[in-house]
Amino acid sequence: MFRVSDFGKNYQKDIGIFNLMEDLDNALNQNPHILMLGGGNPGFIPEIQEYFYKKFQQFLSNKEDFFSAIGIYDSPLGNITFRKVLAEFFRTLYGWNITYENVALTHGSQNAFFILFNIFSGEDSNRLLKILFPILPEYIGYEQVPLKTQAILSIMGKKIQQNDYFFKYEIHQDRFIEVLKQHREDIGCIAISSPSNPTGKIFSKEELLFLKQQSEKYQIPIIVDSAYGNPFPGIVYTNQEFVYSENFIYTFSLSKVGLPGLRLGIVIANSEIIELMGKIQAVQSLSPSRIAPFVFKDDFASMEFYQMCHKHIKSFYLKKRNLILDLLKEQLSPELIQIHESEGAFFLWLNFPRLKISSLKLYEILKSRGLIVVPGIYYYPGLNSQENKDGEKSIRISFSQPEAVLTKGIEILISTIKEFS
């Protein structure tokens, strides 16, 4: 092997998001007989697919738009016409005081995290700026995003029992305030996903206001990843409210609507942050794609895109979620399974209190039996294996696949949990 830099060495180790994406490719492209309850690929919703198909047919029928979209570079911040449409879209829905200068387009939200996390973490003179995750478990794709692997601070969520089967993580506010006081000079940003990947938690308005208060006190920005939530795709089973602040940076994605192949992320932030992102993106990739802006700008302007999402997407996943919950509760007692309250997204976070093997070993056994899940150990950025007790007995499952796949996969999971509990 050639000599590599610290940057390269950071990715030579086991990378959870890489393993997840490899499993996803294997199940969906290479070996369709594998039961995929692991990845974050959205489901195929007939009405949404037909809508997309018609939109692309219209796009292809307009030669001028087609050749312009594929043959011209855009601004490093993305298509300015679409950014203006998006600013009006968010002003209309939520009353946010923004213009196109507060909007950036990226190559998917994962790319946005890479830029944002490294703006706010890493070496700063004689100090190492860090990202604070206020509730663990948190998204598998965050941990290796900062170029400095030590640039993560994390706080375990406060576990609140809801009833026999269900629990929920909330911000441990006293601990959060303590960490801010202790590390206020070292924290570059705070980051959350809502709905949470992996638990499906949605941060309440009260929690967001608490974070806003603390962020403004210490002038620390907050990144809110809403890839699964409102306004699109709108996979929200309870209620999701937003809090507007100059300190908040919101990221959105077209992937979970059903367009992961287009790779379009949307960032709403202070104009100075947006400008900085544009400069970085110019160096990193010149400019984002023009395809999605050309195909969907009119539908964002008319709210048709928003209306299609809210008409078809939530009900599609809600039916599948309820199917899995019924199957799990029919076959496993609360002593064998605990489930995080499912408020949004298309995941369930499952904890097995009596599991006699690690979640990684469980993953390997299930994979050998034709079922893919994601072991919980990958969702605790900044913690070592000794600190990560919950992840050793937890997994994340996705319910985006057809019902036959879900039913068969859950049967394998239930029998395996009974065997090793």
The pLDDT tens digits of the residues spanning 84-99 come to 999 999 999 999 999 9
Counted domains in the chain: 2
Q: Based on the fold, state whether residues 300 and 329 are members of the same structural domain.
A: no
Q: Does residue 412 have a pLDDT over 80?
A: yes
Give the pLDDT score at 185: 92
Q: Based on the fold, state whether residues 140 and 214 are members of the same structural domain.
A: yes
Region 211-227: what's the mean pLDDT? 95
Q: What is the pLDDT of residues 327-375, one digit of tens each?
A: 999 999 999 999 999 999 999 999 999 999 999 999 999 999 999 999 9
Could you tell me the pTM of the whole model? 0.92
Region 182-206: what's the mean pLDDT? 96
Q: Based on the fold, state whether residues 92 and 165 are members of the same structural domain.
A: yes
Give the pLDDT score at 386: 63
Residue 120: give its domain's CATH number: 3.40.640.10
Q: Based on the fold, state whether residues 139 and 288 are members of the same structural domain.
A: yes
CB atoms within 10 A of CB 326: 11
Q: Based on the fold, state whether residues 331 and 222 are members of the same structural domain.
A: no
What's the rounded Cα separation, in Å, for the pair 39 and 399?
Answer: 9
Q: How far is CA 306 from CA 130, 228, 381, in A?
A: 35, 13, 33
Q: Is 60 a member of any domain?
A: no
Q: Based on the fold, state whether residues 20 and 106 are members of the same structural domain.
A: no
Q: Based on the fold, state whether residues 205 and 166 are members of the same structural domain.
A: yes
Q: Based on the fold, state whether residues 148 and 258 are members of the same structural domain.
A: yes
Q: Is 57 a member of any domain?
A: no
Q: What is the pLDDT of residues 68-127, one digit of tens each?
A: 999 999 999 999 999 999 999 999 999 999 999 999 999 999 999 999 999 999 988 888
Residue 398: give its domain's CATH number: 3.90.1150.10
Q: Based on the fold, state whether residues 266 and 319 are members of the same structural domain.
A: no
Q: Based on the fold, state whether residues 242 and 366 are members of the same structural domain.
A: no
Question: Which domain covers residue 405, as residue numbers?
Answer: 6-47+312-419
Q: Based on the fold, state whether residues 376 and 400 are members of the same structural domain.
A: yes
Give the pLDDT score at 271: 96
How would DSSP label each residue in 286-351?
SS--SHHHHHHHHHHHHTHHHHHHHHHHHHHHHHHHHHHHHHHHHHS-TTT-EEE---BSSEEEEE
Instruction: Single out the residue in 307, 340, 360 at which a domain terminates.
Output: 307
Q: Based on the fold, state whether residues 43 and 178 are members of the same structural domain.
A: no
Give the H/E segment covering residue 223. Answer: strand 222-225
